[in-house]
């Protein structure tokens, strides 16, 4: 069978083809399938560079059509301030899971942003108190905007506190999203005071030292810890991790590169102390929140199946609509 060539999709194509609500639904479904044992474990490889690094996440997505998907993302925290470039850049390669044919190459930025926010929304749906209406967002970049939009689809948000070391970033987010989401957003400098009044906290920073302290978090809070996706990155107090109910997106990854990793490294937790993977809860194999007083932390390191299901959705819609360019990497035979 002759290949039609590989579909090349620009970032704007991905943005247009993948809505946040569609991504949330797809991510929830793929967590359910994983919890039912229908998706094999994914793989990850990391490479360090002087000012950042590259990680590769790969996974198999079975279904009515099988896909093998790999995402190659670079993460250079200084890019935005030093070079006016995105912190995270990369590509997703989607191949036919039955014969290995490269079907599509997609820009990864928009998929990474949306699938990360979608995972937090799915976790909040199962782990936050249903009446949670006050949230604190830590880190006010593009990921924060997606996180808040996604959170608003599953919880009745009415008040949001925005915290960032760059106060102007918090002010810009508040000005922009308060109108879009029709919710009160207040930039804050005092994180402790904001956390004490919040039902939900989302951390999406590049911090390498924790700033959410155990003593500052109110009983019953749900925390989506998003930023620690590398062993040197950290947002949550290890003592808080050890005392809370921890739900991982991927147990091995969270213990190796997430905030759970730091609690284990300090001898405050063991791998077996992690309550569950999110997939087990979505598949109803374990209960989620069992008390209004529980502090539950979703340790979100980003898993390949999230990228795979989002990339597959984009590819199928693009193919059906005739969007994108076709390129034959093999060239004429």
Catalytic residues: 71
Radius of gyration of the chain (CA): 19
Query: What are 108's two structure tokens?
Result: 């990864």
Q: Are 163 and 136 within 8 A, CB to CB?
A: yes
Tell me the backbone φ, ψ of residue 280, rounded to 5 degrees: -65, -35
Tell me the backbone φ, ψ of residue 324, rounded to 5 degrees: 100, 175
Neighbours of 293 (CB within 10 A): 11
Tell me how far apart the 2 most distant CA atoms of the chain are, in Å.
Answer: 66
Q: Which of 105, 141, 145, 143 is nearest to 14 (CA)?
A: 105
Query: What are 175's two structure tokens?
Result: 């000005």
* Sheet hosting strand 222-225, strand order edge to edge: 184-188, 159-163, 134-138, 200-203, 222-225, 296-299, 245-248, 276-277
Q: How far, in Å, CA of 88 to CA of 109, rounded?
A: 7
Q: Which of 275, 314, 280, 322 is nearest to 296 (CA)?
A: 275
Q: Are 198 and 136 within 8 A, CB to CB?
A: yes
Q: Which of 48, 56, 84, 89 is nearest to 72 (CA)?
A: 56
Query: What are 5's two structure tokens?
Result: 């060539």
Q: Are 4 and 134 within 8 A, CB to CB?
A: no
Q: Which of 200, 202, 203, 160 is nearest to 181 (CA)?
A: 160
């Amino acid at each position: 069978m002759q290949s039609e060539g590989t579909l090349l999709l620009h970032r704007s194509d991905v943005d247009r083809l993948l809505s946040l609500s569609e991504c949330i639904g797809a991510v929830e479904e793929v967590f359910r399938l994983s919890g039912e044992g229908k998706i094999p474990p994914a793989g990850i490889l990391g490479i360090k560079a002087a000012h950042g690094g590259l990680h590769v996440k790969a996974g198999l997505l079975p279904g009515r059509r099988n896909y093998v998907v790999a995402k190659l993302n670079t993460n250079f925290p200084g890019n935005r301030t030093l070079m006016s470039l995105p912190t995270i850049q990369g590509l997703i390669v989607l191949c036919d899971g039955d014969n290995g044919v490269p079907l599509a190459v997609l820009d990864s930025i928009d998929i990474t942003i949306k699938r990360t926010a979608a995972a937090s929304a799915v976790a909040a749906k199962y782990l936050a108190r249903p009446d949670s209406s006050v949230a604190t967002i830590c880190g006010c970049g593009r990921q924060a905007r997606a996180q808040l939009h996604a959170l608003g689809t599953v919880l009745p948000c009415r008040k949001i506190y925005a915290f960032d070391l760059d106060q102007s970033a918090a002010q810009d987010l508040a000005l922009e999203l308060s109108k879009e989401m029709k919710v009160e957003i207040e930039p804050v400098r005092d994180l402790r005071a904001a956390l004490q009044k919040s039902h939900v906290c989302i951390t999406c920073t590049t911090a390498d030292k924790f700033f959410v302290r155990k003593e500052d978090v109110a009983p019953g809070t749900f925390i989506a810890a998003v930023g620690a996706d590398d062993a040197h990155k950290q947002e949550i107090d290890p003592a808080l991790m050890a005392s809370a109910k921890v739900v991982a997106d991927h147990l091995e990854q969270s213990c190796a590169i997430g905030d759970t990793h730091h609690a284990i490294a300090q001898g405050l937790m063991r791998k077996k102390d992690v309550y569950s993977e999110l997939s087990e809860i979505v598949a109803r194999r374990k209960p989620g929140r069992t008390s209004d007083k529980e502090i539950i932390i979703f340790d979100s390191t980003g898993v390949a199946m999230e990228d795979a299901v989002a990339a597959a959705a984009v590819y199928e819609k693009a193919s059906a609509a005739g969007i994108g360019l076709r390129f034959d990497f093999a060239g004429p035979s």
